[in-house]
């Protein structure tokens, strides 16, 4: 998210638990910052109309049970945007919280029909974990996709929009 808005940022693969050195326990002295908020570039965002369009490959980053419509503890309707494919972001990580090997990451997306982030829109429940799939696509050299920030929370509340579940898909 930070890099998309023009800020320098990096992610520690595996989180703080994977940091190889000693961690300080006292509060550091921090210089005054000069951070300024920037709007997310429009060309990296998608709206509900675009996320519903068959012009794009739409990727749902939620767990399979929510995507399939078996349960949804958060939103009013279970399921997913019709035509979307499922690449659960949690499957990008191993049990220690590190990215799985690149071949496995690539396979996760290729099985869903994605080899490039071009014309790809990703969403989740609220737009946060979908960013993980965008990060992985960029890490794989597939380019930058677009984010549907409203995610399933916005789409699922729009009762005039169709919903798909695993029981509705044809084999």
d(CA 62, CA 98): 18
- Closest to 148 measured CA to CA, from 114, 117, 125, 132: 125
89 classed as catalytic: no
69: alpha, beta or left? (left if phi > 0; alpha if psi -120 to 50): left
CB-CB contact of 75 with 156 (8 Å): yes
Token couple for 36: 């300024």
Among candidate residues 51, 121, 124, 137, the one labeled active-site is: 124
Q: Please state the length of the chain.
A: 171
CB-CB contact of 115 with 142 (8 Å): yes
169 Cα distance to chain centroid: 23
Enzyme catalytic residues = 124
């Amino acid at each position: 998210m930070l890099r998309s808005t023009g800020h320098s940022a990096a992610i520690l693969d595996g989180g703080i638990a994977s940091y190889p050195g000693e961690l300080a326990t006292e509060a550091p002295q921090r210089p005054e910052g000069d951070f300024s908020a920037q709007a997310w570039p429009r060309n990296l965002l998608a709206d509900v109309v675009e996320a519903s369009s068959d012009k794009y490959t739409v990727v749902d980053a939620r767990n399979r049970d929510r995507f399939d419509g078996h349960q949804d503890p958060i939103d009013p309707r279970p399921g997913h945007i019709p035509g979307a494919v499922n690449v659960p972001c949690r499957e990008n990580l191993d049990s220690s919280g590190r990215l799985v090997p690149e071949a496995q990451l690539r396979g996760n997306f290729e099985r869903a029909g994605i080899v490039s982030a071009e014309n790809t829109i990703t969403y989740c429940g609220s737009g946060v974990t979908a960013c993980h799939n965008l990060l992985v696509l960029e890490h794989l050299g597939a380019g930058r996709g677009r984010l549907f920030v409203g995610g399933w929370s916005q789409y699922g509340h729009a009762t005039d929009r169709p919903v798909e579940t695993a029981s509705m898909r044809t084999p």
